[in-house]
Amino acid sequence: MGKPTGFIEFLRELPSELTPLDRLHNWDEFHLPMPEDKLRNQAARCMDCGTPFCHTGTLISGMASGCPINNLIPEWNDLIYRGLWREALDRLHKTNNFPEFTGRVCPAPCEGSCVLGIHNPPVTIKNIECSIIDKGWESGWITANPPAIRTGKKVAVIGSGPAGLAAADQLNKAGHWVTVYERADRPGGLLMYGIPNMKLDKEEVVLRRLQMLEQEGVKMVCNTEVGKDISSQDLLNEYDAVVICTGATKPRDLNIEGRQLKGIHFAMEFLTANTKALLDGQPGEDFISAAGKDVVIIGGGDTGTDCVGTSLRHNCRSVTQLEIMPQPPRERAADNPWPEWPKIYRLDYGQEEAAARFGDDPRVYTTTATKFEGDSEGNVTGIHTVQVEWQRNEKGQFIPQPVAGTEKVIPTQLVLLAMGFLGPEQPLLDDLGLEKDARSNIKAEHGQFATSLPKVFAAGDCRRGQSLVVWAINEGRGAARECDRFLMGATDLP
């Protein structure tokens, strides 16, 4: 704790950013760097608590709290206050393979657990993390560091999202030869094709790290779907171990009347084709344009927000986001002793931009779609909605009930379904004969990561269901540790 009175002297301050209207003109990230003296003051707000909930990843009231990868937050806050940036970077890399990803997109459960947050706004942990890693790259401190000794063991990682990349990085550091198989044309999983460029820059941030991994010896094989382009049995025969990190990419559908109409797409079709067009420099055949359209997005999570931001950058005519859940409270509930950030009501970037462009928050709460209608050529033209009330059934479960008299029709030419994901795609799992859990995820205990097949491990969303980048990194690191233990009989990996 560099400055014992820092939390009394300094107010929470976030980096400035481009105004919502200015940033709609391009696909660039919009947070501006914060000067070092300001960052130093922000780091000085850390109280170096006896029990630093921010980095412990403990359970509070049954809910996971704090950083899932146990970032050494009070330690690097102290180092930043003292101006020791290089040391802070080393401390950050001890627990996090990719701070430039989490520093940009993590919802920061660490900030929700910051003890200062009980009385004051929490320490700006996420921004300090991002500033440390960005300075590390800019200063040339991050260089390829291939392992000095190779074990001669070969590991295949299936899927190149944050779980697969973290597993590959750790296994490579342990000296194994690692090959990552990815069915898309570029590696990165949802970091590449999912989270849009304005949240996480592809060329400057994602590709930079991918290139570093390759320089250190990780081999990436793209355009190769395991189970289709290469048989899973061949992979099992060729490698000493396999780590499956295929994500939870099966989207939830909405099987109501009119679903077959043209102009109704899964959110990921829209977002993936958009990023691909940006990277390729031209739209492909599967590109879906929102330009000039009234867009309706069904689903109020991160994916829905990314569809709002993307539709606005296409210059849509209007955007509406339907959310079946009630509007969350703006303030902490009186009976809740712990701050609810980041779950408290907040305008995320997409809604903020929509409000600036059209004068209102695009979210419509406690509302669901009941039917799509179309024209004679089979194009969607409208969506029927109704408000719901959440009532308990006889088993005590909350069930949405339509409220009579609240029916509406919203005109639309583009509907994006962003209602979450139903776990991993099943063909590869069935091909391998893997055991699954009750939610069709790969069965493998957290901490062990071993599947029902010998020498096969699983990590990330394909094991835990759709989650967060930081949890994918946690799982990739853990699976690598257990895989290394399996290969070598013991492991030094954390």
Question: Exposed/middle/buried for 32, CB within 10 Å: 0-12, 13-18, 19+?
Answer: exposed
The alpha carbons of the chain give a radius of gyration, in whole angstroms, of 23
Token pair for residue 190?
């949802």
Enumerate residues 221-250 that contact ligand FAD by CB under 6 A: 225-227, 245-247, 249
Enumerate residues 312-331 that contact ligand FAD by CB under 6 A: none
Nearer to ligand FAD, 433 or 489 (CB): 433
Q: Does 302 bind ligand FAD (CB under 6 A)?
A: yes
State the residue for tokens 């990996």. Answer: 493
Binding residue for ligand FAD (CB under 6 A) from 472, 480, 483, 487?
472
Nearer to ligand FAD, 190 or 386 (CB): 190
Q: What are the phi and psi torsion angles at 432 (to 5°)?
A: -80, -15
Closest approach of ligand FAD to the CB of residue 163, in Å: 3
Binding residue for ligand FAD (CB under 6 A) from 468, 479, 483, 487?
468
Token pair for residue 454?
């010998």
Closest approach of ligand FAD to the CB of residue 467, in Å: 5
Output the CA–CA distances (angstroms, integers) from residue 6 to 12, 43, 44, 125, 276, in the order listed.
11, 8, 5, 15, 45
Token pair for residue 370?
């009941």
Nearer to ligand FAD, 225 or 240 (CB): 225
State the residue for tokens 């809740």. Answer: 336
Binding residue for ligand FAD (CB under 6 A) from 112, 339, 350, 460?
460
**Of residues 50, 39, 52, the one with CA closest to residue 10:** 39
Q: Does 159 bind ligand FAD (CB under 6 A)?
A: yes
* Cα–Cα distance, 348 to 188 (Å, whole number): 24
Q: Which positions from 180 to 209 touch ligand FAD by CB under 6 A, shown as an x/- string?
A: -xxxx----xx---xx---x----------
Do 239 and 486 meet the contact criterion of CB atoms below 8 Å apart? no
Q: Does 210 bind ligand FAD (CB under 6 A)?
A: no
Enumerate residues 389-448 that contact ligand FAD by CB under 6 A: 428
Per CB under 6 A, the segment of 30-38, 176-184, 372-380, 478-486 that binds ligand FAD is 176-184
Q: Does 105 bind ligand FAD (CB under 6 A)?
A: yes
Nearer to ligand FAD, 39 or 418 (CB): 418
Do 352 and 385 meet the contact criterion of CB atoms below 8 Å apart? no
Q: Please, what sign has the CA dihedral across residues 400, 402, 407, 412?
A: positive
Strand partners, 177: 154
Closest approach of ligand FAD to the CB of residue 422, in Å: 13
Give contact residues for ligand FAD (rule: CB under 6 A): 105-106, 158-164, 181-184, 189-190, 194-195, 199, 225-227, 245-247, 249, 271, 302-303, 306, 428, 460-461, 466-470, 472
